[in-house]
Amino acid sequence: MNYYIKIILILIFYCIINPVFTSLYLSISGLPGGNVGMIPYGILLANMIATLISLLILYLIRLKKTIGINLSIATNNLIYIITLIYFGLNPFFDEMGKDYAKLDFVILLSSFLSSIIAVVVFKIVHARCSN
C-alpha cells in the first residue's frame, strides 16, 4: 500500500476516535450539555485542521527524507495540540472551575491515547497484511 494512503487512513482513524473518547468522557462527567455539548465537533474541526497541516508538512519532509508512521502520527499529534492551544485549551487555568480544567486535561489525554491506539492498530494491520 502506498505510504500516503497509509498515513491518510491512520489520520482519519485518529480523527474519528479522538472525538469519540471525548464524547465518552462528556457522557459520564455530568457537565451540563449546553456548555460542553459542541466540544466533540470542535475537536473534530481541530483534528481536520491538524491533519491537513500534517499532511502538507509530511509531504514536504518526505521530499527530502523518509519518515516512519510513528513519527507521522507524533507530528500530527503535536500539530493537533498546538491547534487546540491556539483555540484556547489550557488545562492549568481554571477560570470556569476545576471541572472544565479537568475537561481540558482529558482532551489532551484522549489525544495521546488516540495516538497510541492508532499506532497499535497500524502495527496489527501491517503485520496481518504482510503475512
What pLDDT was estimated at residue 34? 77
What pLDDT was estimated at residue 26? 84
Round to whole Å and give the CA distance between 54 and 121.
20
Q: Which three cell numbers stand for residue 86?
A: 491556539
**Contact criterion met (CB below 8 Å) for 118 and 6:** no
**Contact criterion met (CB below 8 Å) for 26 and 41:** no
Round to whole Å and give the CA distance between 86 and 89.
7
Round to whole Å and give the CA distance between 90 and 13.
25
The pTM of the full predicted model, rounded to 2 decimals, is 0.81
Whether the pLDDT of residue 30 is over 80: the answer is no
pLDDT 10s digits, 49-98:
988 998 888 888 877 777 778 888 888 889 988 888 888 877 677 666 66
Q: Which three cell numbers stand for residue 130?
A: 504482510
Round to whole Å and give the CA distance between 39 and 52.
20
